[in-house]
Amino acid sequence: MEKVKVMLWGFGAMGSGMAKMLLNKKGVEIVGVCNRSKNGKSIFEIMNIERGDHPDVLINSDIEEVMNTNPDIALVATDSYTEKTFSKLKLLMENKINVISTAEEMAYPSAQNPELAEKLDAIAKENNVSVLGTGINPGLIMDLLVVCLTGAMTDVEHIEAERVNSLSPFGAVVMEEQGVGIKVDEFEKGVKEGTLAGHVGFKESIHMIGDAIGWPVEKFEQQMKPIVTSVDRKAPHGFAKAGDVAGVNMTGQGYVDGEVKIDMKHPQQIEPEMEGTNTGDYIRIKGTPEINMAINPEVEGGLGTIAMCVNMIPHVINAHSGLKTMLDLPVPRAIMGDMRKLIRK
């Protein structure tokens, strides 16, 4: 049986991380990589790893040529928003390629873009392929894991999901998006003008949970506040002087029957330990029985997103055609054996 053939679109931290993971797995091969800026270079050279027995893969800026390698699935790690990534997903599916997207909004695209979600579903069905958005969050920690735990409950009254994570492992782009190192007034200006990204995904997570358990979410709100440090904090790619912004505290609420029933808290900052903050993922569900979960430290975001996307490959290939969410597919799982054994014919 032939190996599972994977193509990558995007070769930044996520795309190259997925490539590295795939190279360590059995029964799967990377057949092509599309990236604008690294055209012609070997992925092994860029990642600075030994090629070993793997065939070489040269980055190609021409997506048509990459699609001609006849991949079973494409991993697309280029955007955060459904609107920006839509044309890429469409093109891939029209070429009969299944798709997994890292775009946060794609984890539950009907939350922000119901029309685009419907279009994606129709395109997928016309071409007999599936498309899924996933990642660590949205995708698992503040939504699917919450949903899974409610499975042990006879009744749910209130859900709180909190993710306290460190931005220290991330690069310059993330520092900029999250406002690390800027002054408080610059931060406020960035929030007002919409230039600070913060965490993308609360609306997706809240609607995913609401739809899963049968709570129609009638209103969604979110807030973005600076985490102002009282000490100088230094991370590999970021620095925040005392009095400046060390990160962003995002909060979000989903209203059901006139009250906040789904509550999200997600403070992200560099070097949280310097002011006594311990990182972790927390899920607290009121109802019967109550559930109080903690993961300490938090599941690492970068590795977690890479793993989720690669680990969902067999589920997406096996799925009936259409737009899928994590709610539709079997639970994610690590792949320690041969990936071919997981593909149903």
Q: Compose the 251-290 pattern: x for residues touching a second copy by CB under 8 A, - for all others.
A: ------------------------------------xxx-
- The total number of residues shown for the chain amounts to 345
Can you tell me which residue has the tokens 């894991």? 145
Which C-beta is closer to a second copy: that of 124 or that of 299? 299
11 scored as a contact of a second copy (CB under 8 A): no
Which C-beta is closer to a second copy: that of 150 or that of 178? 150
13 scored as a contact of a second copy (CB under 8 A): no
Q: How far is 325 from 148, CA to CA, in rounded Å?
A: 14
Which C-beta is closer to a second copy: that of 196 or that of 319? 319
What tokens appear for 215 in the block?
């709570």
Contact by Cβ (8 Å): 300, 169: yes
Select from 49, 184, 191, 295 the one that contacts a second copy (CB under 8 A): 295
Count of residues engaged in binding a second copy, rule: CB under 8 A: 57
Residues within window 148-167 making contact with a second copy, judged by CB under 8 A? 148-156
Buried b (16+ CB within 10 A) or exposed e, 182-206: beeebbbebbeeeebbbbbbbbbbb
Which C-beta is closer to a second copy: that of 56 or that of 155? 155
Q: Compose the 324-343 pattern: x for residues touching a second copy by CB under 8 A, - for all others.
A: --xxxxxxxxxxxxx--xx-
Q: How far is 280 from 222, CA to CA, in rounded Å?
A: 21
Buried b (16+ CB within 10 A) or exposed e, 34-50: bbeebeebebbeeeeee
Angle at 84 between CA 213 and CA 76, to 5 degrees: 75
Select from 49, 158, 277, 297 the one that contacts a second copy (CB under 8 A): 297
213 scored as a contact of a second copy (CB under 8 A): yes
Q: Shortest approach of a second copy to residue 244 CB, angstroms?
A: 29
Q: Shortest approach of a second copy to residue 255 CB, angstroms?
A: 15
Cα diameter, the chain: 60
Contact by Cβ (8 Å): 171, 238: no
Who contacts 176 (Cβ-Cβ below 8 Å, separation ≥6)?
none
322 scored as a contact of a second copy (CB under 8 A): no
Q: Where do contacts with a second copy occur on this chain (CB under 8 A)?
A: 21, 24, 136, 140-141, 144-145, 147-156, 212-216, 287-289, 291-297, 299-300, 303-304, 306-308, 310-312, 326-338, 341-342
